[in-house]
Amino acid sequence: MTGNVESRTVDTARVRTRVLERPAVVGARRRVLLVHGNVSSSAFFHDLLLALPDDVHAVAPDLRGYGGTEPRPVDATRGLRDWSDDVLALMDALGWPSAHLLGWSLGGGVVMQVALDAPGRVQSLTLAAGISPYGFGGTHGEGGTPNAADYAGSGGGTVNAAFVAAVAAGDRSDAPGSPRDVLRKFYVNPAAFTPTPEQEEAWLDAMLSTRTGDDHYPGDMSASGAWPNVAPGTRGVANAFSPKYQSLAAFAQLSPAPPVLWVRGDLDAIVSDASLFDLAQLGALGVVPGWPGAESCPPQPMVTQLRAVLDAAQAGGGSYREVVLPGVGHSPFLEAPDAFLAAFTAHLDAESIPDTPSSLNTERL
C-alpha cells in the first residue's frame, strides 16, 4: 500500500472539522470514513490509513471536542446525534453520498447512530471494540435494563476527576493514573504490545487534545440517591453515552441493517462484560466502596448487549461477523494491525456478509 496521509480542515454546515485524509492511489472505488473514540483523535488511525488498499479514499475526522475540530459543545440529551449529524455533514461537504464507516470504541456507537439516522448512506459498518448499544454504565442484562430509575452509575460524574484534570493540564508524565499510564495499561494490552516512542507520543498528543469541561469531557452531573450517588447531567461527552440518552437498540429494526464487522480483543479492559471502567464492576471488586451488591447494581455486560442487538439485526435480515483477537486489548487495529487489516479488507471486498446462524459468527484468530 502506498500514498500519503494529509491533514486539512473541512468547512461543513455544522462544524469546522479537521480530518486526516488518505486519497486513493489508483481510481477511487471505495470510500471509507473512520471515527475515533473517547479521549483520542484521528491520529490513532494514521497507520491504518496508510495500510488501506490503494483504491480506497479514506477520511478520519476529529469529532467535536477532540483534536483540531472546532470545539462546539455536546448536547448530551441528543445521545450520540451531535456527532452523527457532524459525520453526515462532513460526508455532504466531501460530496460522498455513501461510504463504509468504521468506528472505534465510542466511535462504534457513533457510526451505528449514523446508520439509524441515514441508513441509505451506510454501505457497511466496522465496529472496532465498539461500545454497548446502551452506552456506558448503569445497566444490566442483554436488553440494557437500568440499575436505577435515574440511570445512576453513568454519566459525567462517573469519570475519574484526577484523570480529567491531568488531561486538562497536558500531563505528559508516567505517574499512576496519568494519560500516558492509562494509554499504556488500558488502551492496549501491555503484556503483548508496546508502542514505539513515536507512536506513544503521537497518541498521547491525541489524548491531550481532548477538550474538558461541562460542555465537553466529561460533562456535568447530578446527584442521586442510588449508588454510586451520581446520575447523568445534560451536557458533555460522558452524559451523551449514558443509557439515559443513548440507545441503539433500534439498529435491529433496520430493513435490513447494513452488514457489520465487529472486531475486538479478548483482553479489552474498557469495553467488556467486566469493564474496569464500570463503577459497578469496580464496586464488585472492592475498589469503589459502598457497592450494594449484584442484585441491585450488577456490572454492565457490554459485549453481551452488543451481540444481542447484532443477533436481532441478523434475524431481521442483516448480517454480522464477530472476530475476536487473542491477547489484544481495546485497540485491535493498533495491537494486531495485520489481522485487523485482513478482516477489514475482506469485509470491504465482500460488501455484504452471508446470513449464517449467530452461533457460527464468532471467530478467534
On the question of pLDDT at 357 being above 60, the answer is no
On the question of pLDDT at 359 being above 50, the answer is no
More confident residue, 231 or 361: 231
Question: Percent of the chain at pLDDT above 90?
Answer: 93
Confidence band of 28 (pLDDT split at 50, 70, 90): confident
pLDDT at residue 27, rounded to an integer: 82
196 phi, psi to nearest 5 deg? -70, 160
On the question of pLDDT at 353 being above 60, the answer is no
On the question of pLDDT at 1 being above 70, the answer is no
Q: What is the DSSP string of 189-257?
A: -TTT----HHHHHHHHHHHHT--EETTSEE--EEE-SSTTSEEE-SBSHHHHTSTTT---GGGGGSTTP
Q: What is the architecture, at CATH level 2, of domain 6-142+246-364?
A: 3-Layer(aba) Sandwich (3.40)
Residue type, 207: M
On the question of pLDDT at 242 being above 60, the answer is yes
As a whole number of angstroms, the distance between CA 3 and CA 23 comes to: 7
Query: pLDDT tens for residues 243-278?
Result: 999 999 999 999 999 999 999 999 999 999 999 999
pLDDT at residue 361, rounded to an integer: 55
On the question of pLDDT at 142 being above 80, the answer is yes
315 phi, psi to nearest 5 deg? -65, -25
On the question of pLDDT at 334 being above 70, the answer is yes
On the question of pLDDT at 76 being above 80, the answer is yes
On the question of pLDDT at 360 being above 70, the answer is no
Query: pLDDT tens for residues 281-330?
Result: 999 999 999 999 999 999 999 999 999 999 999 999 999 999 999 999 99
On the question of pLDDT at 3 being above 90, the answer is no
Confidence band of 365 (pLDDT split at 50, 70, 90): low
Q: Which of 322, 326, 321, 332 is nearest to 354 (CA)?
A: 321
Q: Which of 247, 359, 257, 248 is nearest to 314 (CA)?
A: 257
pLDDT at residue 351, rounded to an integer: 63
On the question of pLDDT at 168 being above 70, the answer is yes
pLDDT at residue 358, rounded to an integer: 37
- Average pLDDT, whole number, for the chain? 95
Residues 6+ apart with CB under 8 A from 257: 115, 119, 251, 313, 316, 317, 318
The whole-number average pLDDT for the span 359-365 is 49
pLDDT at residue 356, rounded to an integer: 37
118 phi, psi to nearest 5 deg? -145, 65
The whole-number average pLDDT for the span 349-357 is 51
pLDDT at residue 222, rounded to an integer: 98
